[in-house]
Amino acid sequence: MSYKNTYIKNYDNKNIVLHELIGLRAKVLKSSDEYKKGMTGLVINETKNTLVLRTSSGVKTIPKLQSVFKFNVSGKAFVVRGKEINFRPYERTEKALKYYISRVR
């Protein structure tokens, strides 16, 4: 078993807000932009305010704050509000702790 597979199995509904999102499959469940709602793809990049998805129709940038996402990891799905991940990736572990504490397992 590779290190990557071991790491991914540790994702759960509570700690998803602390983990790396690049490389995960994502779906936009809600968005302030109706054209982005329902969009699915692979997360290929992330900034403080956006997720970048590779979709079947090209690369799309999704604002985090106005969106709700569903991430698929190892056959499990996790719903995350954009405000829970609206941090720079390297700041997430520290700043998302308040959301980690309030999330249900």
What domains are defined for the chain? Answer: 3-102 (2.30.30.210)
- Give per-residue pLDDT as tens, 20-30: 899 999 999 99
Place of tokens 């969009």: 39
Task: Please give the Cα distance from 35 to 85 (Å, whole number).
Answer: 21
What φ, ψ does residue 58 adopt, rounded to 5°?
Answer: 120, -170
CB 83 within 8 A of CB 76: no
19-76 pLDDT tens trace = 889 999 999 999 999 999 999 999 999 999 999 999 999 999 999 999 999 999 888 8
Instruction: Report pTM.
Output: 0.81
Neighbours of 62 (CB within 10 A): 22
Q: Are 10 and 53 in contact (CB under 8 A)?
A: no
